[in-house]
Amino acid sequence: MTEKCVFDVPQSVIDRATHYCPGCQHGTIHRLVGEVLDEMKLREDTLLVSSIGCSVFLYNYLDVDAVEAPHGRAPAVATGVKRARPDNFVFTYQGDGDLASIGLAEIVHAANRGERLSVVFVNNTVYGMTGGQMAPTTMVGQKTTTCPSGRCPESQGLPIRMSEIIAQLGGVAYCARVAVNTVKNLGQAKKALRRAFEVQATGQGFGFVEFLATCPTNWRMTPVQANERIAAELIPYFPLGVFKDAPKEECA
């Protein structure tokens, strides 16, 4: 009996071990990105804008051209890349500190201009690489190294819901929040990612997908506990779903 391969590494993904901690979902999200690039036959046209934090090394795991952006500036760098090469497929991959804190201006304005870009936003509610400090998305009461008693809304504000902010901007064609904590959610996440990539490929506008993801190390949890936290704590505050799926708004 001959063996038939039914599950392999996507062509866009380099077959090597990642540097991520056990239970971290960056690896899962990388794989989804690779699968969608393969299915849409985008690998050879893709220009990745890598950002800051744990995911800066995405360029070591995807077999695509890539440039590294300064802290938070990936949407501006991607704007320059896309304006210079409008026929290429351009996407950024950014964490919550990068996108929702230091790079808030860049993401809002790239989205509002309707740049033909795709943004993969990984929200794990904490600064991972720098050692577990508070992020703009850190949950109320969540303990981090810079809010050791737990995030306090009176002095630190409430967690920012980025998808809800991005969805209301005129240049945005697609905006969704997804999770990869269950098989069902994984399937939904891939569909959303594909749609976010499609709106760029068809010139409809800016595509944005927020992934809720685990950081077991900085959450001080086991991988299983971290995954359970997504359903128990994160999804109730950061609801999953498609917030916008419409072409870029035109001037009257």
Partner 1 sequence: MAERIFIKGNEAIAHGALAAGCVCYFGYPITPQNDIPEFMSTAICEAGGQFVQAESEIGAVNMLLGAAAAGKRAMTSSSSPGMSLKQEAISYMAGSELPGVIVNMNRGGPGLGDIGPSQGDYFQAVKGGGHGDYRTLVLAPATCQEAYDLTIAAFDLAFAYKNPVLILGDAILGQMKEPVTAWKPEARSADEAASWRLSGAKGRPKRLIKSLFLEDGALAGQNLRLKEKYERMKAEIRFESFQCEDAELVVVAFGSIGRIAKSAVRTLRAAGFKVGLFRPITLFPFPSEALAELARQGKRFLTIEHNLGQMVEDVRLSVLPHADSAFFGVMPGNLPMPDDFEQPIRDCLGG
Residues 151 to 170: which contact partner 1 by CB under 8 A?
none
Largest interatomic CA distance in the chain: 66
Are 91 and 194 within 8 A, CB to CB? no
Write the binding mask 9 to 48 for partner 1: x where contact by CB under 8 A, - elsewhere. ----------------------------------xxxxx-
Among 11, 18, 28, 88, binds partner 1 (CB under 8 A): 88
Count of residues touching partner 1 (by CB under 8 A): 37
- Tokens 């269950």 -> residue: 182
- Whichever of 3 and 15 has its CB closer to partner 1, that residue is 15
Among 9, 84, 232, 246, binds partner 1 (CB under 8 A): 84
> CA nearest 120: which of 189, 181, 188, 70?
189
Among 27, 40, 65, 223, binds partner 1 (CB under 8 A): 65
By CB under 8 A, residue 64 contacts partner 1: yes
The DSSP output letter for 85 is -
Helix (H) or strand (E) holding 184: helix 183-201
Taken in order 195, 201, 204, 210, the sign of the CA dihedral is positive
Single-letter amino acid, residue 105: A
Helix (H) or strand (E) holding 226: helix 223-229
Q: Nearest approach, Cβ of 98 to partner 1 (angstroms)?
A: 13
Q: Nearest approach, Cβ of 201 to partner 1 (angstroms)?
A: 13
Among 27, 40, 101, 113, binds partner 1 (CB under 8 A): 113
By CB under 8 A, residue 178 contacts partner 1: no
| 3-state SS class at 154 | helix
Q: Please tell me the number of Cα atoms within 13 Å of 16 on its side-chain side.
A: 11
- 134: β partners: 126
Give the binding range for partner 1 (CB under 8 A) out of 105-113, 145-153, 213-221, 244-252.
105-113
By CB under 8 A, residue 83 contacts partner 1: yes
- Contact residues for partner 1 (CB under 8 A)? 43-47, 49-50, 56, 59, 62-71, 73, 76-85, 88-89, 105-106, 108-109, 113
